[in-house]
Amino acid sequence: MSPSLAASERRLQVSKGVDVSALLVSPARPDALYVLAHGAGAGMRHAFMETMAARLAARGVATLRYQFPYVENGSRRIDPEPLLLDTVRAAVAMGREAAGGVTLIAGGKSMGGRMTSRAAAASPLEDVAGLAFLGFPLHPAGQPGISRAEHLAKVSVPLLFLQGTRDTLAELPLLRPVVDKLGARATLHIVEHADHMFHVLKKSGRTDEQVLDELADTVAAWSGKLGGASA
């Protein structure tokens, strides 16, 4: 990453006595800012999160990554949902301030994306123009179902689902009807041969780097169609 794109470290106040780390990566003149939450098993400094932030910055999209409290505290036990949602809301508020009026989107990898949509379903996230999911976890591996998507009907902003064809946490025959039911505000972008971490097998003829570029291109193009923050 070039010096101009070095991550700016921040502290995010979630509630009284609870604060976590955050990282802002931004090009000089961003077109959008993505409040990007991590998945359940790895924090904001995971290689996937790092490389997505760098790729998005190269395409004019700043990112604000942040930790959920359990990761910040070195625990593997996921926080209760109310605390996860409070963290999402605090991060969005910080992202809104950092965005300075450019298009604000939110979401993230797996659980982080789902918690963002859970927060948005409970109460709209101020000035967020859309939610982007990097692998929406529709169901646990080996336990197909759609109950995790029921709340999405209560989300009023556009939704972007980026899903691999080998994702065992979102079987496409189940996910496609969910997205179709959401109507024109939902977009499903299929990444051929990719698993939940967007890894592809060599026999696919593609590389992981090409897939990551595809993800970044798709998020940047989609956010560019959303317009700026509301007044």
pLDDT at position 6 = 75
Q: Is residue 137 part of a domain?
A: yes
Q: Is residue 209 part of a domain?
A: yes
Q: What are phi and psi of 171, to 5 degrees?
A: -65, 125
Of the candidates 150, 141, 120, 147, the one whose C-alpha atom is nearest the C-alpha of residue 132 is 120
Q: Is residue 229 part of a domain?
A: no
Q: Is residue 230 part of a domain?
A: no
Q: Which sign does the torsion angle of CA 187, 191, 196, 197 carry?
A: negative
Q: Is residue 16 part of a domain?
A: yes
State pTM to two decimals: 0.94
Q: Each residue of 164-200: pLDDT tens digit?
A: 999 999 999 999 999 999 999 999 999 999 999 999 9
Q: What are phi and psi of 21, to 5 degrees?
A: -80, 150
pLDDT at position 80 = 97
Residue 221 vs residues 70, 78, 129, 160: alpha-carbon distances, Å: 33, 33, 14, 11
Q: Is residue 61 part of a domain?
A: yes
pLDDT at position 4 = 42
β-strands 8-15, 18-25: how paired?
A: antiparallel
Domain of 196, in residue numbers: 3-224
Q: Each residue of 52-63: pLDDT tens digit?
A: 999 999 999 999
Instruction: Tell me which residues of the chain have a pLDDT lower than 70.
Output: 1-4, 228-231
CA angle 145, 147, 151 (to 5 degrees): 145
pLDDT at position 230 = 40
Structurally, the chain folds into a number of domains equal to 1
Calpha distance 225→112 (Å, rounded): 23
pLDDT at position 229 = 45
pLDDT at position 227 = 72
- The answer to whether the CB of 34 falls within 8 A of the CB of 64 is yes
Indicate which CATH number applies to the domain containing 19.
Answer: 3.40.50.1820
